[in-house]
Amino acid sequence: MSTAAIAIRTAKPTDAHGLADVHDDAWRFAYRGILPGVELERMIARRGPTWWHKAITRRVPIVVLENGGQVRGYVTYGGSRVRTLPYRAEIYELYIHPEYSGLGFGRRLFRTVQQRLLRRGHDALVVWCLADNDPACRFYEAMGGRPVAGADEMFQDVRVAKVAYGFDQGVPDPDSTE
């Protein structure tokens, strides 16, 4: 894998297929064994290229990691969906293609979105992740998040715990090595 031509940018309609591919691979990698298999596949199937194209054209905030002209990761974000928490901004999803995970690209995507939110007046944000997704929990803790809430969600007949990580400190530069 060459990392010479890495770009982080706003998604465009031509990214729909790449976003769907990253979503499929990253979700299978992250959630196999955590979510019921049939439910996981059904959730993945709903997020094909058409879904992503509509999200982009509706101007859903999506930032992509591109390498060699291919989408290799993405972040979706916006207003917080839980009004009872003191955070007005939320990162909804941050996924990296498994081949690119562990190389620092998630950190760069996260910091880029933090900077964008800061420019919009949000110096704090929240991220929800499944409590059994140990790599994601460790990532958000390493990024400076602290658990601020928990909830359960039903997937078929399986109750799955979620944890919210709050980020309310200053926002470092996305390319910092911290």
pLDDT for residue 178 is more than 50:
no
pTM of this prediction? 0.90
pLDDT for residue 118 is more than 80:
yes
What domains are defined for the chain?
6-167 (3.40.630.30)
- How confident is the model at residue 5, as a pLDDT? 83
Torsion sign, CA atoms 53, 39, 80, 26:
negative
List of residues 6+ apart from 58 with CB closer than 8 A: none
Q: Provide the greatest CA pair distance for the chain.
A: 45
pLDDT for residue 171 is more than 50:
no
pLDDT for residue 174 is more than 80:
no
> For the chain, what percent of residues have pLDDT higher than 90?
89
**Mean per-residue pLDDT for 20-42?**
96
> How far apart (Å, rounded) are the C-alpha atoms in residues 175 and 178?
9
Write out the two tokens for 150: 């928990």
Q: Residue 138: phi, psi to the nearest 5? A: -65, -40
Average per-residue pLDDT for the chain:
92
**Mean per-residue pLDDT for 140-145?**
97
pLDDT for residue 177 is more than 70:
no
Instruction: pLDDT band for 125, please (50, 70, 90 cuts).
Output: very high
pLDDT for residue 173 is more than 60:
no
Q: Say what the alpha-carbon torsion angle 152, 156, 157, 163 is, to the nearest 10 degrees.
A: -20
